[in-house]
Amino acid sequence: MGDERTDGERMERLRVAAVDAILGEPFRVLDEGFVRVVDYMGDDAAIVQAARVSYGKGTKRVHEDRALIRYLMRHSHTTPFEMCELKLHVRVPMDVWRQWIRHRTASVNEYSTRYSEAIDAAQATPRDAWRLQSGGNRQGSSGRLPEDVGARLSEEEAALQRRAREVYEARIVAGVAREQARKDLPLSTYTEAYWKIDLHNLLHFLDLRMDAHAQQEIREYATLIGDEIVARWVPIAWEAFLEYRREATRLSRFEIAMVGALACGDEARARALATERGLLNATDDGRLKPSRERQEIEEKLAAFGLRAPWST
């Protein structure tokens, strides 16, 4: 519907010149990783067409299309974004791929180390890139180790990776089945996959994996996909995504009440709300107990130029 064809007339495949210009070109990530576009379907106009169901070509102006896409994004009308799809070829360390593959809304075909020999590449960590375990986030990092310590760790890493590869290749030469020979390869070993996903689910992936709390390595992949590929492919949808999701702040009912109290200058009310919420529970020495929710609220208040009433 809405393609304005006559019977027997062949419909031309939609093209996005900015994406055609990078088809097959690898964008480098980390030391040995890459992302490249294999194929795509749809563009900003496809989102608009799906939302309107049917309309004549040229009957809507660009600014009207932009307004509609922004409306859809703003009000979480997701189905029209599913009309666009992107197929990527990625090379990524196995430990990062474990996080990536948790997004179960894509079609995936991964390189098989049962069928073929494992890729002879492993992610190396520079001496200044060893991160410290975060004290307040069990799955995160914060700060870096001194370079002299990092230098030793990097040397040990390189030796471990070389030895693991040597053992693996010796097993292959000895005739060990590939499916068994691979079992002691490190998680830093690169794997490759074709990954096809619709725009709605891709934006969800990017929203999570571009976040500052995501692991740095997968954040580098996500940021590249967003800034270098999606921004070229669907620039209007990408602009709306950044404004209404990626760079927006979502408030809970409690947070709205907190912002409202502080905006009116009623710090006592704001503090009472926090106390009722259990955010100001203290230890025996009078210090506030650690609270992820309280920290998140502080960050949101700061975005509004407001200071948390319990801050000193």
266 phi/psi in degrees, rounded to 5: -95, 75
- 127 among known catalytic residues: no
144 phi/psi in degrees, rounded to 5: -135, 155
d(CA 306, CA 312) in angstroms, rounded, equals 13
d(CA 81, CA 202) in angstroms, rounded, equals 10
Residue type, 92: V
Active-site hit among 209, 245, 271, 277 = 209
Q: Which two tokens stand for residue 207?
A: 């929203």
Beta strands in 94-232 (DSSP E): 107-110, 131-133, 141-144, 190-198
d(CA 63, CA 234) in angstroms, rounded, equals 15
d(CA 222, CA 202) in angstroms, rounded, equals 10
Beta strands in the chain (DSSP E): 27-29, 33-41, 85-93, 107-110, 131-133, 141-144, 190-198
Active site residues: 209
